[in-house]
Amino acid sequence: MMHTKHSIQLQLEELGISPSDTVLVHSSMKSIGAVEGGGEAVLDALVEYVSEGLVVFPTHTWRQINAEYNVFDPRTEPSCVGALTEIFRRRSDAVRSWHPTHSVAAVGADAGPFTSAEEWFDTPCPRRGCWGKLYDRGAKVLFIGCGLRCNTLLHGVEEWYGIPNRLTDHHEPLQIRTPDGTLLDCPMRRHESPVGDISRHYGKMEGPFFATGVARRGRIGDADTVACDAIGMVDVTSAYLGRNPDLFLDDSPP
């Protein structure tokens, strides 16, 4: 079946997305299937539907930015988290944050203020940065064909609540190349856990999210899609972490 911009917008409506929402999108273009106009049409569908709000994509660079390759240029550094994120950050109307490892790009009337000032923090998901602003704005988070393990917001929850052994004690000497060519020092702590990639266990929260009404199922194109309320996700997860700080060290049911 060939999907269109209009059919995708109908699916967004069925998922409970409002034109005035802030929407953070995790995505797998391959899962969406055939779309007339390709990835650009998927992005146009989102941006045009959320016409009064803000569309946000992660444009992370944690895979390649490190102590050796340590200069992040927001204008040119490719995203490492999927095809749609890379197409999105290249849009002429997209504004990208200056976070050297966990940047986002946004399209909307207040994209500038939303993405500003991340360069002044030293952790991947600071509470006063973009990931914390999703909570403050009551954002919706879409998981399009990729599952809840891609949930960067939960990294933020663990960071904000001071869960031990989630961040390095040391800072990597990262830098940001500003538009005028200046190199801005941005020492950065990195994600770390005793079991490696702790996000592989984030999917265990799917049950609690659906049980509490935080999550809703639907489709975007062919892709199984989950729409979650950012406030609910943070509040439910923090309650579980309050009882068990080691919640995400394994896959046992919460």
What does residue 173 show for φ and ψ, rounded to 5 degrees? -80, 70
The pLDDT of 155-160, averaged and rounded, is 97
Among 81-85, 126-130, 191-195, the range scoring the smallest mean pLDDT is 191-195
Per-residue pLDDT of 29-78, as tens digits, reads 999 999 999 999 999 999 999 999 999 999 999 999 999 999 999 999 99
Q: How far, in Å, CA of 58 to CA of 172, rounded?
A: 21
Mean pLDDT of all residues belonging to the chain: 97
Q: How far, in Å, CA of 23 to CA of 33, rounded?
A: 21
Q: Taking a C-beta distance cutoff of 8 angstroms, is the pair 16, 217 a contact?
A: no
Q: How far, in Å, CA of 187 to CA of 100, rounded?
A: 9
pLDDT reading at 149 higher than 90 = no
pLDDT at 221: 98
Q: Taking a C-beta distance cutoff of 8 angstroms, is the pair 123, 170 a contact?
A: no
CA 84 to chain centre: 12
pLDDT at 1: 80
Closest by CA to 93, choosing from 43, 58, 21, 35, is 43
Joined tokens for residue 186:
């941005």
pLDDT reading at 183 higher than 90 = yes
Q: How far, in Å, CA of 37 to CA of 160, rounded?
A: 40
Q: Taking a C-beta distance cutoff of 8 angstroms, is the pair 201, 10 a contact?
A: no
Q: How far, in Å, CA of 53 to CA of 139, rounded?
A: 10
| Pair type for strands 95-96 and 223-229 | unpaired
Per DSSP, the three-state class of 232 is: helix
Beta strand extents in 135-208 (DSSP E only): 140-144, 175-177, 183-185
Query: Dihedral of CA 92/83/199/224: which sign?
Result: positive
Give percent of the chain above pLDDT 90: 96
Per-residue pLDDT of 88-147, as tens digits, reads 999 999 999 999 999 999 999 999 999 999 999 999 999 999 999 999 999 999 999 998
Q: How far, in Å, CA of 140 to CA of 154, rounded?
A: 14
Q: Where are the alpha helices (DSSP H) in 33-143?
A: 38-49, 83-89, 111-115, 130-136
pLDDT at 104: 98
| Pair type for strands 54-58 and 104-108 | antiparallel
The pLDDT of 147-174, averaged and rounded, is 95
Give percent of the chain above pLDDT 70: 100
Q: How far, in Å, CA of 198 to CA of 124, rounded?
A: 14
Q: pTM here? A: 0.97
pLDDT reading at 160 higher than 90 = yes
Buried/exposed 56-65: b ≥16 CB within 10 Å, e otherwise: bbbbbbbeeb
What does residue 18 show for φ and ψ, rounded to 5 degrees? -105, 150
Q: Taking a C-beta distance cutoff of 8 angstroms, is the pair 105, 54 a contact?
A: no
